[in-house]
Amino acid sequence: VQLQASGGGLVQAGDSLILSCAASGGTFSMHAMAWFRQAPGKEREFVATINWYGGSTYYADSVKGRFTISRDNAKKLVYLQLNSLKPEDTAVYYCAAGDTRWRIVGLTTTTQVVYWGKGTLVTVSS
């Protein structure tokens, strides 16, 4: 599965963005998907995950209530809606597909990832 994220940009605090991740090849619907992010000088961290059919989602505490993950298996797309953005949300955001054994529960760690997309930069100014 190849993944390509898009939708990043420069926004002000309080603004919203929608990130998209397009998949090609493989069997997209067999994978739970997730978004991770990496801020400058920091380790990559989990943001949100969605299971294979979209019936279960889970979020990092830092984004809960502000971000929403969703997917469209027919279009092979996964989205991340970012609302009420804060400067501390500034990072490169990566979409990721999990090993198929995690497809029901989702994935929250980088060790569960089998495919990474290239990141998209989100910069939030204060």
Closest CA to 31 of 96, 103, 79: 103
51-107 tens-digit pLDDT? 999 899 999 999 999 999 999 999 999 999 999 999 999 999 999 999 999 999 999
Rounded mean pLDDT, 101-122: 95
Let me know how long the chain is: 126
Per-residue confidence at 26, pLDDT binned at 50, 70, 90? Answer: confident
**What three-state secondary structure class fits 28?**
helix
- For the record, the structure tokens of 86 come out as 């804060």
**Burial group, residue 33, by CB count within 10 angstroms (0-12, 13-18, 19+):** buried
71-86 tens-digit pLDDT? 999 999 999 999 999 9
**What three-state secondary structure class fits 60?**
coil
Beta bridge partners of 34: 49, 96
